[in-house]
Amino acid sequence: MGRFILLILLSLGGVLSTGPLFAQSPAVPISRRAPIAAMPKRVMTLAQISGMATHNHPAVQQARRQAEALRGEWIQAGLRSNPSLGYEAEEMTEGSAGRHGVTFTQPITPQYKRTARQATIDREYQAALQLYHIQHQKVMNDALLAAYRVAFASRKCLILEELTHLSQEALKAGNELLKAQEINRASFLDMKIKSEQTQIALRDAEIAHRTACRELAILLALPERELTEISDSLNILPPELDEMTLLAEIQRFSPELRQARAEVETAKMRVRQQHAESGIDYDTNAKIAYNTESKQSEFTLGVAVPIRLFDRNQGNIQRAKSELAASQRNVERLERLLAQKFERQLGEYQMARNRVVSYKEILADAREALDLAFAAYRHGEYGSHELLEAQLTLSAVQLEYLDNMNALMESHVLLRGSFLTGGLEKPRVE
């Protein structure tokens, strides 16, 4: 009886031993699959996810609007001061109506000051645009990282669903063998422990899958309760990376570094602006009055020019110079930080790629070992315990392969995306 049940188990075991690792539709009836596998899913490609990631994303739009707000400030900085119109009455006594007049005052700000202010704001706008690009890249990276987590978690669920079913069938068969005294209780308990462990691993994988799907749904503003399936083939390794070329590319195109360099240019313009602000503003005024005693009209012109005796804007100039020096140091800091992140992430990428390449060979060996275990079992050379061990070994190798592929693709996204994540965090100046 026990051997008959195990033969049924052997016929089912071929799914994992011979099927493709990333099969989209495993040959397992839905009624025997875990709930996640039976639930409807939203099928998406990585290209679709990339296209949807930044569409109407609040953080990206926030950064864009903050940059556009500076265009209004640029317009305001170039406007002339408004004139003022007033009324004056003088020398009014009990017997005289005095002098009545209209005053017109126009503050004058030199053109070079307004030009310097606009030049500074224009540089601030360029830096804000880089902040927008930073947020855009963060959102793209977040979406791709979440998509890879969804894809590999889904594939892990498929493997663990089948493994759980096989281990439960093996446990039932082991129970029959135990009753027939064909195996001892220690072997049966070992089979039971492995069956329970696979169920725990499956539940963990289901939770990870649901979490990844909901995280991706939040990032893309999709219904959170609907699961997602990534239809892309993820069995293609990214290419080997040229260290020097890639680092130079990152330092050249990093939006963070571009923003820091834009801040240096902004700081330079602020120094020029503060020097311009040390120039003199002055007021002009005119008055037209009518003298009721002389019956004559009077016209008066005046100019008020401040004397820069004490305040020559030297404090603001010194502050702008210090901010310029700080912004230049910030560029150096970011260059070192990017180089440090690059070395760390490149190391993780190379390790993950090495493991993936190695595990491809191990997978082939594990499949061959399982085929040999089937053959040995059919000839009576292996028992059910050894056969289950071979199946567990293959499944463990498959899961390790998926974890390493996930780590490899995440490292690739971060290397190509300037290590930026956290797209829903508030945009801030570095």
More confident residue, 92 or 425: 425
Domain boundaries, the chain: 2-416
Which pLDDT tens digit goes with each residue over 101-123?
Answer: 899 999 999 999 999 999 999 99
C-alpha 322/C-alpha 326 separation (Å) is 6
Token reading at 232: 């892309």
Q: At what angle do helices 2-18 and 111-179 cross, to 10 degrees?
A: 160
**pLDDT higher than 50, residue 8:** no
Which pLDDT tens digit goes with each residue over 171-230?
Answer: 888 888 888 888 888 888 888 898 899 899 999 999 999 999 999 999 998 887 778 899
For residue 55, count other CB atoms closer than 10 A to its CB. 11
pLDDT at 88: 82
CA distances from 147 to 82, 227, 351, 410, 426 (A): 56, 12, 22, 10, 22
Q: Can you tell me the mean pLDDT for 12-24?
A: 39
**pLDDT higher than 50, residue 33:** no
**pLDDT higher than 80, residue 22:** no
pTM for this entry: 0.80
pLDDT at 167: 83
Architecture of the domain defined by 2-416: Up-down Bundle (1.20)
Q: Can you tell me the mean pLDDT for 368-388?
A: 82
More confident residue, 122 or 244: 122
What average pLDDT is seen over the chain?
A: 85
Name which of 133-147, 218-232, 326-340 the model is least confident about. 218-232
Q: In sequence order, which residues have a C-beta less than 8 Å from that of residue 6 and are 6 or more positions away?
A: 170, 173, 377, 384, 387
Percent of the chain with pLDDT over 70: 88
